Amino acid sequence: MDRIVIVGAGHAGCQLAFSLRACGYQGEITLVNGEDTLPYHRPPLSKAYLKTGREEELLLRGESAFAENQIQLCRNTAQDIDRTRCELRMATGRPLPYDHLVLATGTVTRRLQVPNGDQGVYYLKNVTDAQALRAALPTTKRVAVIGAGFIGLEFAAFAADAGKSVSVIDLADRVMARTASHEISAFFEKRHSQAGVRFRFSRKIVDVVRKEGTVCGLLLDGEELIEADLIVAGIGVIANSKLAEVSGLETDNGIVVDRYLTTSDSCISAIGDCTRFPTEYASHPVRLESVQNANDQARSVAEKLTGKKQPYTAVPWFWSDQGADKLQIAGLTGASDCHVMRGLPEHNKFSVFNFHEGRLVAVESVNQPADHMVARRLIAAGTRVDQALAADASFQLKTLIQ
């Protein structure tokens, strides 16, 4: 295989390019970068970068690393794929021929749909968004955050710490309702409230209110007005599968891939946030938004393309830093039917063990990195964990690892 082309230079695409070299691949690698910057870490955009503004700390790799590894960074946007000729067509310039193509196109921001439109509403997806927020913050007094998911809460914690008056509004009845257990939601709601954040749950945004063109608040159902001079929406993302769709690949809330991360065309793989893939950790194919998944899928495809084909089986894990607290999740919480607490929320250090039909499926840890690390290994090995032992904080979980 002489030419591998990767579309998207985020976590997944960039990791793949370097993993291919680490696996000994000697052919051409072209990494199509749709953004104007060198590839960068996204998680700090809602965390440290808001404070420091240090862009050099965001870079995934220094500029010289691309040249040293003979990875051609190509600033362009891929528009469609001629699958018969095996060519990628770009917004500008000549088509790029490939022997294998990898789509790592990530996600696009879900935008607020309200009658007056979302003009003046901030989002937090890329470095330009984060720069705009940093520029707006010094003159801001009141912040309204739409969405009590990871990004909304991380931003709310930062804004409250910076002395802003912060309100968080969500359609759901608790924080992180889509991904976290009730125990974790209760803990984080309390911690954010203690930091001064005010929550409005089970509430719908009716419209954005402006005075002489400037945002001044949010109108909620029940005619409640939340006054705000800065509105940030963290209402999720949508798989960026446009390129796959226009090229006739199978998509269904993401680019559909098999256990080897191959799309419906055997010459095209897909990795990262844009994929929907089968996993032994869920009863149905899933699409995950995490750095772990992007990196591990990239490594798996690098191995496949260099002759070590294995199904993708990595245990999903995720983290979120909210104020002084770190949440880490190993496994997928979706299917759990029983929760066991290990440690006490009052001590700001505990884990919630999620079981499904007696089997450990996920562990949510707050300020307990050791529990998280053990949990990843227990879930990967499919170790049977006794619920009473899981609840006993004096029991050394690592003794269960074979």
Tell me which residues touch ligand FAD (CB under 6 A). Answer: 7-13, 32, 34-35, 42-43, 45-46, 77-78, 104-107, 124-125, 151, 240, 243, 272-273, 289-292, 294, 318-320
306-317 in b/e form (b: 16+ CB < 10 A) is beeeeebebbbb
Q: Read out DSSP for 194-254?
A: HTT-EEE-S--EEEEEEETTEEEEEEEGGG-EEE-SEEEE---EEE--HHHHHTT--BSSS
Residue (240 or 263) nearer to ligand FAD, CB? 240
Q: Give the shortest CB-49-to-ligand FAD separation in angstroms.
A: 9
Residue 386 C-beta: closest distance to ligand FAD, Å: 30
Residue 17: Cβ-neighbour burial (10 angstroms; 0-12, 13-18, 19+): buried
Whole-number minimum distance, CB 224 to ligand FAD, in Å? 28
C-alpha distance from residue 3 to each of 124, 249, 301 (Å): 34, 21, 15
Residue number with CB closer to ligand FAD (218 or 274) = 274
Nearer to ligand FAD, 170 or 217 (CB): 170
CB nearer to ligand FAD: pick between 155 and 355: 155
Residue 223 C-beta: closest distance to ligand FAD, Å:
32
CB of 245 to ligand FAD, least distance (A): 11
- From the CB of 289, what's the least distance to ligand FAD, in Å? 4
Distance separating alpha carbons of residues 48 and 39, to the nearest angstrom = 17
Query: For ligand FAD, which is the closer residue by CB, 46 or 355?
Result: 46
48 vs 391, beta carbon nearer ligand FAD: 48
Residue whose beta carbon is closest to ligand FAD: 10
Rounded to 5 degrees, what angle do the CA atoms 202, 110, 47 make?
Answer: 85
Pair of tokens at residue 242 = 């446009």
CB of 225 to ligand FAD, least distance (A): 28
Query: Residue 32 or 73: which CB sits closer to ligand FAD?
Result: 32
Instruction: CB nearer to ligand FAD: give 42 or 299.
Output: 42
Nearer to ligand FAD, 8 or 147 (CB): 8
Tell the smallest beta-carbon distance from residue 322 to ligand FAD (Å): 10
Contacts 24+ apart (CB under 8 A), 335-343: 335/282, 335/283, 335/361, 336/181, 336/361, 336/362, 338/387, 339/181, 339/182, 339/183, 340/387, 340/390, 340/391, 341/183, 341/391, 342/371, 342/390, 342/391, 342/392, 342/393, 343/368, 343/393
**Which residue in 16, 1, 90, 7 sits closest to 293, CA to CA?**
16
Task: Decide: 141 and 165 in contact? Cβ < 8 Å.
Answer: yes
Three-state secondary structure call for residue 159 = helix
What is the identity of the amino acid at 74? Answer: C
The CA distance from 78 to 103, in Å, is 10
Specify whether the CB–CB gap between 144 and 120 falls below 8 A: no
Please identify, using beta-carbon distances, which residue of 160 and 298 lies nearer to ligand FAD. Answer: 298
Nearer to ligand FAD, 12 or 101 (CB): 12
The closest of 298, 236, 289 to 270, measured between CA atoms, is 298
**Minimal distance, residue 98 CB to ligand FAD, in Å:** 14
CA atoms within 13 A on the CB side of 167: 20
Q: How far is the CB of 332 from ligand FAD (least distance, A)?
A: 14
| Bridge partners of residue 360, in order along the sequence | 355
Side chain identity, residue 339: H
Nearest distance, CB of residue 318 and ligand FAD, angstroms: 5
